[in-house]
């Protein structure tokens, strides 16, 4: 029911978390439920740069990508008063992006266990530059654990954390409602 998903006072929802956490999937669903525009930061970068993300990493390197990511984040937020934004897996960890995300909206960390990420990414890691070229599932698991350990401190800056392995729009809605009432 549309009225069930009315959230007065929240106009930007920013989803953060590891690759495969479900930011894009959940973001699209939340945007539909709240009748908010949806943007995916990775897709915005690809559109605005006219190149795929692996191509940007390969030709320009990660530092360049992180600058483009930070600039695109600020541009997308400035362009949308109301928005559900799925960020990239590394977005909060660079250029003060975590602060930008919490200051301009409510950030939600999809804190999915590594075992679940592994199951989701095993057949799709090749399209992600930082997970590509790993020899087997053990190496992928180790890379995911290391990456999460380094990133946790940035993800944890989000106002809300959904620790359920398969966070649903309804779960996030209840968290946002409680957050609104406690603010
Ligand atoms: N709640 C869920 N339960 C089970 N599978 C899910 C769930 N959410 C997403 N998935 C699956 O996990 C995979 C990754 O989802 P998605 O692309 O939404 O993640 P992401 O966080 O946007 O990843 P990336 O950081 O790579 O953009 C997809 O195959 C998707 O179908
Ligand atoms: O985890 C990461 O650092 C990344 C995740 C993707 O969403 C892309 O933003 C890019 O491949 C980098
Ligand atoms: Mg995504």
Residue-wise pLDDT for 2-14, tens only, equals 444 667 777 899 9
DSSP annotation string for 41-59: HHHHHHHHHTS-HHHHHHH
Cα 105 to ligand 2 centroid, rounded to whole Å: 21
119 lines ligand 1 (CB under 6 A): no
Does residue 2 lie within any of the structural domains? no
Distance in angstroms (rounded) separating the CA atoms of residues 74 and 71: 5
Residue 89 in contact with ligand 2 by CB distance below 6 A:
yes
Which residues lie near ion ligand 3 (Cβ < 5 Å)? 23-24
Question: With a 6 A CB cut-off, is 143 part of the ligand 2 pocket?
Answer: no
112: CATH: 3.40.50.300
The answer to the question of residue 12 being in a domain is no
Looking at residue 3, its pLDDT comes to 40
As annotated, the binding site for substrate includes 42, 66, 89, 151
SS3 content of the chain, % helix, strand, coil (to 5): 55, 10, 30
Beta pairing, strands 12-16 & 38-40 = unpaired
For the chain, how many structural domains are there in total? 1
User: Is the residue at 14 inside a domain?
Assistant: no
pLDDT digits (tens, 9 = 90+) for 81-104: 999 999 999 999 999 999 999 999
pLDDT value, residue 5: 63
pLDDT of residue 137: 82
CA distance 97 to 94: 6
Enumerate residue ranges in the chain where pLDDT < 70: 1-6, 124-126
Q: Is the residue at 130 inside a domain?
A: yes
pLDDT at 183: 72
9 domain residue, yes or no: no
Ligand 1 site, residue 21, Cβ cutoff 6 A: yes
Residue 86 domain-assigned? yes
Confirm whether 40 is domain-assigned. Answer: yes
Cβ of 89 closer than 6 Å to ligand 1, yes or no, is yes
In ligand 1, which atom is closest to the CA atom of 88?
Answer: 25
Helices (H), 80-160: 97-103, 114-121, 137-155
Q: Tell me if 56 is assigned to some domain.
A: yes
Question: Residue 90 CA: which ligand 2 atom is closest?
Answer: 3
Residue located nearest, by CA, to atom 16 of ligand 1: 22
Question: Domain of 163?
Answer: 19-182
């Amino acid at each position: 029911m549309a009225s069930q998903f009315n959230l007065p006072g929240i106009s930007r929802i920013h989803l953060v978390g590891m690759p495969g956490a479900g930011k894009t999937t959940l973001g699209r669903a939340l945007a539909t439920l709240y009748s908010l525009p949806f943007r995916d930061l990775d897709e915005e970068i690809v559109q605005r740069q006219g190149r795929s993300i692996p191509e940007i990493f390969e030709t320009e390197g990660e530092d360049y990508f992180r600058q483009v990511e930070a600039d695109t984040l600020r541009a997308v937020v400035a362009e949308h008063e109301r928005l559900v934004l799925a960020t990239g897996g590394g977005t909060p960890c660079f250029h003060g992006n975590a602060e930008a995300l919490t200051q301009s909206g409510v950030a939600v960390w999809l804190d999915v266990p590594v075992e679940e990420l592994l199951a989701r990414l095993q057949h799709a890691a090749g399209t992600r530059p930082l997970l590509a070229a790993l020899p087997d599932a053990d190496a992928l698991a180790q890379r995911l654990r290391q990456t999460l350990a380094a990133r946790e401190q940035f993800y944890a800056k989000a106002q809300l954390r959904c620790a359920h392995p398969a966070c649903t729009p309804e779960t996030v809605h209840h968290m946002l409602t409680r957050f609104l009432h406690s603010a």
